[in-house]
Amino acid sequence: DAGITQSPRHKVTETGTPVTLRCHQTENHRYMYWYRQDPGHGLRLIHYSYGVKDTDKGEVSDGYSVSRSKTEDFLLTLESATSSQTSVYFCAIEQNGNTIYFGEGSWLTVV
């Protein structure tokens, strides 16, 4: 258990509405990540953070923004949700140098 909590775990929202997913960690890890997982595409990195207020884009960052104002919290925001953002979102932290550990996931459906 890497001490990661994601919220909400399940959400249904309407197209065009903003959505924020929260990742909370309890072990003071510097690096945090947001991935999405889709059939046929596997896990793809959206954004990551290497410290408070330090973030960078991943492979599929369009339509997403992130913020990290405290070490323990990493927020993923969909400014205006689209149906293509229906997915499972996983938060992850880096541990032991170069291995990452995942949270339990947040299931998002955009209707």
Partner 1 sequence: QKEVEQDPGPLSVPEGAIVSLNCTYSNSAFQYFMWYRQYSRKGPELLMYTYSSGNKEDGRFTAQVDKSSKYISLFIRDSQPSDSATYLCAMSQTYYNTDKLIFGTGTRLQVFP
Minimum gap (Å) between residue 43 Cβ and partner 1: 4
Minimum gap (Å) between residue 3 Cβ and partner 1: 13
102 binds partner 1 (CB under 8 A): yes
User: What is the distance of C-alpha 79 from the center of its chain?
Assistant: 14
**DSSP code of 8?**
-
Rounding to the nearest 10 degrees, give the CA dihedral for residues 22, 79, 32, 5: 10
Minimum gap (Å) between residue 13 Cβ and partner 1: 19
Minimum gap (Å) between residue 51 Cβ and partner 1: 13
CB atoms near residue 20 (< 10 Å): 15
Q: What number of chain residues touch partner 1 (CB under 8 A)?
A: 22
Measuring CA to CA, how many Å separate 17 from each of 21, 109, 110?
13, 12, 9
Instruction: Show the site string, 19-58: x = touches partner 1 by CB under 8 A, - = not.
Output: ------------x-x------xxxxxx--x-------x-x
Tokens of 103: 């949270």
Residues forming the site for partner 1 (CB under 8 A): 31, 33, 40-45, 48, 56, 58, 90, 94, 97-105
